[in-house]
Homo-oligomer: A and B are copies of this chain.
Amino acid sequence: MPDHDGLNSVQLETYFALTEAAGLLQQAVERQLRAHGGLSYIQFHILARLDASEKPLTMTELADGVVYSRSGLTYQAGLLDQAGLIKRKSSPQDERATLVTITAAGRRRLRRVMPGHIEVAKTLLFDGLSDADVRTLGDIMSRVRDHIHQTSVRQSSRRRTTQ
């Protein structure tokens, strides 16, 4: 197999196909969320995580999911708060922490965009694949995701130690 700077041609094609397809999917999803829900993808993600959580989440817990600077999260949470989609209050246990909860309006907004969101995924991703493909893809990408989680100790979401 010919090597192009360290990747063989099968790897190179796989890499390009993955990044291009995922990028196109991502853009389509963002367009839909913006158009039908007035939400950025990150805002959607924050709402979805709060909706799935039994208990309120702190800003730090939220930041751990989104690979993100803390100020960026504060900014996005500020927008969601201002729109009445989340509520923030300081934690009774640790008064440094902020507890974030999704509001009823937040859940409504989520329910409003979900069908379109799902529709994009179905149209662009699943319509072209067999059930077996979907299972295989899910298996492979789950392993990739876990591998990346183990490998890159997501430095940007973690606070620099001191300083």
Which A residues contact B (CB, under 8 angstroms)?
A: 5-7, 10-11, 13-15, 17-29, 31, 67, 114-115, 118-119, 121-129, 131, 133-138, 140-149, 151-152, 156
Contacts and interface: CB of A to CB of B under 8 A. Distances in A.
B118 A148 contact: no
A125 B22 contact: no
A144 B128 contact: yes
B24 A22 contact: no
Contacts of A24: 67, 145, 148-149, 152
A55 to B, nearest CB: 21
Nearest to A135: B10
Contacts of A26: 19, 22-23
A147 B140 CA distance: 20
A65 to B, nearest CB: 9
Q: Which of A18, A23, A24 has the most CB atoms of chain B within a 10 A radius of its CB?
A: A18
A5 B28 CA distance: 19
Contacts of A128: 143-144, 146-148
Contact of A15 (B17, B20, B121, B151): B121
Contact of A125 (B18, B126, B136, B156): B18
A18 B137 contact: yes
B7 A121 contact: yes
